[in-house]
Amino acid sequence: MPLPEQIEPGDVVLTRGTEAVSRAICLMDGSEVSHAALAVGEDALAEVVGEGLRTVTFAQAMDGHDLTVGRALTTPADTGPVLDVARRYLAGHTSYAHQQIVLLAVLCVTRHIPLPLGGRRLVRTVLDQAAAAVNAMAECGRQPMICSEFVYRCHHEARPRAPYVLRTADDDTHPDGTLLGWARAHPAVPRLPLPAGPTAGRLAPADAEAALAPLVSAYATALGKADLLARHVPLPAGLSDPSDEELLSSMVAFGTALHRADPQGADGRDGSGVPLPPARALEKIRAMEAEPNFVTPGDLLRSPSLTERLRVPAGKKSTGEALKGLLNRR
């Protein structure tokens, strides 16, 4: 399936996955999309996934997604410089990898989200799964890179810079009112036990999906947003929320994993060889979210630097079938 005629190499392609983790990203980011890729050829999209940076056909990229949005530069320009950066990353930056659960974990603790009964349980499960995913990346010598971060970097690092740098909405994110802000001020943080070393594992998105599906269903239903779900998964009886200390420990474990995956983070220890203090682990999450390149798929959807050229919404047909029909009419 070639690119639709509305999409050209250099354009941004945003999609919404049908699985629970993807839907949760939409909920936490206040967005319609959960994944981002860059069109790089007549029938090729570049994206970063668990295995690293790769190119896929348009049909492969649409598999398992029920919404596709194509966006092009608002100020028309030759996208050659953007594609040059993308090819450079594809050729030499294979150490990067993306797991959606990592993006979801950062959103959970840095966004102002409601926490109905079961909300904390959802967040803690997300954090634990994300820590396991980041530790597995570190074992493989890979660093986390958000899918939309790759797309943003391709534009930001293009030369000359204008008109390629993508502006994002001025979102004055402040830690007050977020779980991260709550954690950084919590008196129990200094007393938390230091995280144990990582356990050997593997990248297992299916495990995260199975653990999170019922919790995401319950969370969306509690917020009155069950219509966002691709499918409802019943929640086992006896839902309860973790204690402050349990939630804080999961946040610290996630921050420690991020530090460990950093090339300068050694094995989860600070420069003196001592295990990373809990407060420093929380700062690692804050630093990741504050990084200028930390851009979400929702940021790209809302960016005034991009204009919508294609939208294939969910409906009775799958996105792939709808796009095939669109292409057949060309």
Residue 4 lies in a domain: no
What mean pLDDT is predicted for residues 311-317? Answer: 66
pLDDT in tens, 275-306: 789 999 999 999 999 998 999 999 999 999 99
pLDDT score at 318:
45
Q: What is the pLDDT of residues 19-64, one digit of tens each?
A: 999 999 999 999 999 999 999 998 999 999 988 899 999 999 999 9
Taking residue 269's Cβ as centre, other Cβ atoms within 10 Å add up to 16
Q: What is the model's pLDDT at position 262?
A: 86
Q: Using pLDDT thresholds of 50, 70 and 90, give the confidence band for residue 90.
A: very high
**C-alpha torsion 20→21→25→26, nearest 10:** -20
- Of 122-131, 180-189, 195-204, 215-224, least confident by mean pLDDT is 195-204
Is residue 12 within 8 A of residue 297, CB to CB? The reply is no
- The tokens for 215 are 């919790």
For residue 13, pLDDT over 90 is answered with yes
> Quick one: pLDDT at residue 179?
97
Does residue 287 belong to any structural domain of this protein?
Answer: yes
DSSP 178: S
Give the residue with greater pLDDT, 178 vs 204: 178
- The lowest-confidence range among 155-164, 255-264, 313-322 is 313-322
Closest CA to 45 of 154, 162, 205: 154
CA distance 200 to 252: 19
Bond preceding residue 114 cis, omega within 30 of 0? no
Determine the Cα–Cα distance for residues 216 and 232; give it in Å rounded to an integer: 9
Q: Give Cα separations from 244 to 23, 187, 248 (angstroms).
A: 26, 10, 6
- Cα 285–chain centre separation: 14
pLDDT value at 193 more than 90: no
Q: What is the pLDDT of residue 140?
A: 86
Q: Give DSSP secondary structure letters for 207-247.
A: HHHHHHHHHHHHHHHHTT-GGG-SS--PPPS---PPPHHHH
Answer yes or no: is pLDDT of 184 > 50: yes
Of 110, 55, 58, nearest to 255 by C-alpha is 110
295 occurs within a structural domain = yes
At 317 the pLDDT is: 45
Region 235-240: mean pLDDT is 79
Residues spanned by the domain of 131: 12-328
Residue 6 lies in a domain: no
On the question of pLDDT at 131 being above 80, the answer is: yes
Where does the pLDDT of residue 232 fall: very low under 50, low under 70, confident under 90, or very high at 90 and above?
Answer: confident
Longest Cα–Cα distance in the chain: 65
User: Hey, what's the torsion of the CAs at 79, 85, 91, 94, to 10 degrees?
Assistant: -120
- Alpha carbons 165 and 73: distance in angstroms, whole number: 10
Residue pointed to by tokens 């999209």: 45
Average the pLDDT over each of 216-230, 244-258, 263-277 and give the range with the smallest value: 263-277
Asked if residue 7 is part of any domain, the answer here is no
Report the chain's C-alpha Rg in angstroms. Answer: 20
> Would you say residue 39 lies in a domain?
yes
Per-residue pLDDT reduced to its tens digit, 39-49: 999 899 999 99
pLDDT of residue 252: 96
Q: Mean pLDDT for the chain?
A: 87
The count of structural domains within the chain is: 1
5 occurs within a structural domain? no
Query: Above 80 in pLDDT, residue 265?
Result: no
Say what the pLDDT of residue 288 is.
Answer: 93
Reading the block at residue 318, the tokens are: 């799958």
Token duo for residue 147: 């899918």
What pLDDT sits at residue 206? 85
